[in-house]
Amino acid sequence: MPQSRSSPDPRPGRAARAGLLAAMLACAAGMACAAGMAPAAGAAAASSAASASAASASASASASAASAGIEVVAIPSGEFTYQAAGEFLDRGRPVDAPRVQGRVEPGRAIMRRQVSQAEYARCVQAGACKRLDKGFRDLNSPDLPAVGVSWADATAYAAWLSRETGQRWRLPVYAEWVRAAADRYREEGALPSDPADPAVRWLAEYEREIARSRGRIKATQPFGHFGVNALGLSDMGGNVWEWTDTCFASHSVGALPLAPRENCGVRILAGAHIAAMADFIRDPRNGACSIGLPPANLGFRLVRED
């Protein structure tokens, strides 16, 4: 994957940049297997409750999308807790992300699988989506996820699909994706740290990335290769990472809390673990935070608002 040639703002300190770099390197390394992290505490019970509350809604959501040929599953509405996305710093040094309260509004349904290469190609043929870069532009399989798409590409596809169907489609925010992931959702484990020696945490982050890379299947696999979750969604946390609409934010916590610094030139990715990725542009004359090609292990699925 070509690397970006410039760093997005805001400009965090060295430790903050190291945290973001680790997340982006994790994405670049390739993700095509279920994460090896332990499930969040209470995840099994939460997913069972979510499955039960979504069962009847899922059937009606799938039926209403049938006319468009799109299979969807209702996202269980209500409040829940999950590990926050983004960067958290205490006196400038990375710390573990806290668990926060999330909420999904009623009437949200998510695609059963990622958008396929063939589906994205139809948007290109209609003139509503940009032609992908060399290496991706000829991909046209109905059974493989569209990859090599930027956040802007995914957003353009959502706008086109909304016009075609008369429905409201968009990228999910990270909290919606977490809720939909159900039993496939995984949280980051705590990392060791030493206030007197930041290298302790940096080394732990490096070792975690090495452990994640072992046993990964590099090639994109057909839909369903990594199974379905408790709600019937395919490949949640496997095959490819997925764009969300949530902006990356840096949070200052601890004794000196500050307002979060949000950077929407970088978006949160959902998958085997939390990651972040800069949006890409192909023409540097247009200006953006990163110039280059989107990676081959990054796709998307959309949420429909009823």
The CATH number covering residue 169 comes to 3.90.1580
Task: Identify whether 6 is part of a domain.
Answer: no
> Could you tell me the two tokens for 125?
């043929």
Q: What is the mean pLDDT of the chain?
A: 76
pLDDT of residue 20: 42
Residue 4 lies in a domain: no
Tell whether pTM > 0.75: no
Q: CB–CB of 254/94 below 8 Å?
A: no
Residue 37: C-alpha distances to residues 16, 18, 51, 244 (Å): 23, 21, 22, 21
Is 5 contained in some domain? no
The confidence score (pLDDT) of residue 10 equals 34
How far apart are the C-alpha atoms of 23 and 54, rounded to whole Å?
32
pLDDT on residue 38: 33
Rounded Cα–Cα distance for residues 121 and 141 (Å): 9
**Beta-carbon count within 10 A of 197 CB:** 10
Phi, psi of 267 (to 5 degrees): -115, 155
In terms of pLDDT, which residue wins out, 115 or 56? 115
Asked if the structure places residue 3 within a domain, the reply is: no
Which range is least confidently modeled, 109-113, 136-140, 180-184? 136-140
More confident residue, 66 or 155: 155
Greater model confidence, 184 or 74? 74
Residue carrying structure tokens 């997913």: 47
- Strand segments, DSSP code E, in 75-214 are 78-83, 87-90, 93-94, 99-104, 108-111, 168-170
**Which positions ≥6 away from 264 have C-beta within 8 Å?**
247, 248
Question: By C-alpha distance, which of 71, 223, 228, 227 is closest to 143?
Answer: 223
Containing 243, the helix (H) or strand (E) segment is strand 241-253
The verdict on residue 95 lying in a domain is yes
Lowest mean pLDDT among 15-24, 88-97, 113-122, 126-135: 15-24
For residue 232, the tally of other CB atoms under 10 A from its CB is 15
Residue 8 falls within a domain, yes or no? no
Position 74 scores a pLDDT of 98
Res 208 pLDDT > 90: no
Note down the domain range covering 76. Answer: 14-305
pLDDT number for residue 90: 82
- Between CA 116 and CA 224 the distance in angstroms is 12
- At 155, the pLDDT band (50, 70, 90 cuts) reads very high
Q: What percent of the chain has pLDDT over 90?
A: 43
- Is residue 94 included in any domain, yes or no? yes
Domain membership of residue 28 (yes or no) is yes
> What is the number of domains present in the chain?
1
